[in-house]
A and B are shown apart, each in its own frame.
Chain A
Amino acid sequence: MTRFPFFASLVALLCAAFFLIPLAATINFSLRMKRGEISLEAYRWVFQDDTFVSVLGFSAAASLAAILLGALLVVPTAYWVQLKLPAMRPVTEFLSLMPLIIPPVVLVFGYVRIYGTSSILPLTMSDAGTNLLLIIGYTVLSLPYMYRAVDNGMSAIDVATLTEAAESLGASRLRTIATVIFPNVRSAIMSGAFLTFSISLGEFVITSLLNRPAFGPYLVQMGQDYAYQPAALAIMAFAFTWACMALMDLFATRRPGQGLLPFLRRKNA
């Protein structure tokens, strides 16, 4: 019985329309800056804007720093927990998932109060301190994804045997992590890194409340001041998200296991 799947086709078509029409509308809008003709004027305008270049540079630098901090924090921890402290696993896992429960606005509220002017650790007093707090905020936001990616990658290799082998060859603990464990989970870190990058590059809440000259607040400002440029920025953001997801998928470990993000697993299904 090869009946035409009418209802399923209808659902799929409706959903496809809902997904694609906003994209088409945005592309259409972004090309209409010059009255009466189709042009890339809005894109040209954006790329010639000095502020765009500087905020993008700032956000990219902060995101990369967050990735670095996250990797430095998560890789040794996941390694150590798996090797020596399996009993700690639920604790570190829970801690790493907590940022999914705490909304960023709440988190930064706490930061502003605790690390504000009259505290023991007044990070927001200086630009460098505030930038550090921003990087820390990005790291915390990406912790669930970074930890899960690295932990999955770590589960896929035999950490204990690799460590013993390295130690019997005379490697120090640090050297073991750097030259044996790290290369084995590099693809997991890369997949976490691309997700972190896509989360933090346009992040608005923390960035704005810490008053940083970054991409998120710039986007909002553009939305308030201009008509066509925001559409061009939205298309670029979508393309950027797409690129990050594709790269993440490329690097994601393709082993079966419980992934936090189900589409990580889909490829082998």
Chain B
Amino acid sequence: MADQAHAAPLPQAARAPRRVNLSWLGVAPFILFTALFLIFPIFYLINGAFRTAEGAFTLENLIALTGPEIWPSYWLSIRLSFASALLGGIFGTLLAWAVHLGGLPGWVKRAFLTFSGVASNFAGVPLAFAFIATLGRLGLVTLILRDVFGINIYGQGFTLFSFWGLAITYLYFQLPLMMLLMMPAMEGLRPEWREAAASLGASGGQFWRMVALPVLAPSALGCFLLLFANAFGTLATVYALTSANFPVVPIVLFQQIRGNVLYNPNLGYALALGMVLIMALSNTLYFLLRNRAERWRK
């Protein structure tokens, strides 16, 4: 023991940790803050998801997620997020293409970019109000369709407070977000590639199928995943639109916190864990695909 202590160069060993510690102090407030209000709450929920009410380890809560009580909300959330992300993804990509490569004047692109910056941040309760005024029972579009075109969409079973009504409402922030996210990829499509393809005898269709789409695909897929997560975490819009009567996962969790709908906080923890896992998975894939897409933008 004594020999070992002598073997180590003591003064150096004592000095090195102190220098490191002092530097660490500079980020200590930030680390402490994120630990207290970001990491610790999440760990608390994750830990709780694996416990019974008495504190014993269990997988029951996670298994209960797939049961008839919870699974329908997850499935609804997944389908709704998928639908709105798919619509947003397709139209956002088309719009990015149209304004950048479609041969439209430059002011059109600038106008859409400016508007999209605002619209992608315009979510929550006011967005719900705007769509009630548009597609609600007395909304402008509903009335015009009825009075001018003789189409009574509510008579045909559409309501704004349903799956597709919500998907269309989400589209208002999903589409501009997708366009903004896809724009760098569109700008990364070099004109030289098109010329090179043309000089090798490729038609326009071949260029898109064999060059442009493979280059754009990782970006598009990654952005789709980001849109999916974006929709999955949306709460305020649904809440304001349907008065909390639409059981997507965030709403179920919201009501659980409000007043123990599930009678079991540990099941609530599992619900939260499931949300975090889905969000983390789609965001991680987004970052991976984004890095892959950036290969072409050097």
Contact = CB atoms under 8 A, between A and B. Distances in A.
B-side interface mostly: helix
Contacts of B126: 202, 219, 233-234, 237-238
Interface in A185-234: 195, 198-199, 202-205, 209, 216, 219-220, 223-224, 230-231, 233-234
B134 interface: yes
Contacts of A98: 34, 38
A204 B236 contact: yes
B235 A204 contact: yes
Given A7-B98, A8-B99, A109-B257, 18 more contacts: A11-B102, A16-B112, A18-B171, A19-B172, A23-B130, A84-B26, A85-B24, A101-B229, A102-B42, A106-B275, A110-B272, A140-B38, A205-B250, A219-B129, A230-B129, A262-B181, A262-B183, A269-B187
Nearest to B40: A114
Interface residues of B, number: 83
A76 interface: yes
Given A198-B121, A204-B124, A109 B243 contact: no
A-side interface mostly: helix
B214 interface: no
B94 interface: yes
B45 interface: yes
30 contacts: A5-B98, A8-B102, A11-B91, A15-B95, A15-B175, A21-B140, A23-B130, A29-B139, A29-B140, A73-B33, A77-B26, A81-B26, A92-B27, A92-B30, A95-B38, A98-B34, A101-B280, A102-B279, A104-B233, A105-B272, A106-B42, A110-B40, A112-B257, A220-B125, A231-B132, A233-B126, A237-B126, A245-B121, A262-B183, A262-B184
A84 to B, nearest CB: 5
A23 B141 CA distance: 11
A103 interface: yes
B258 A209 contact: yes
Interface string B155-187: 000000000000000011001100011011001
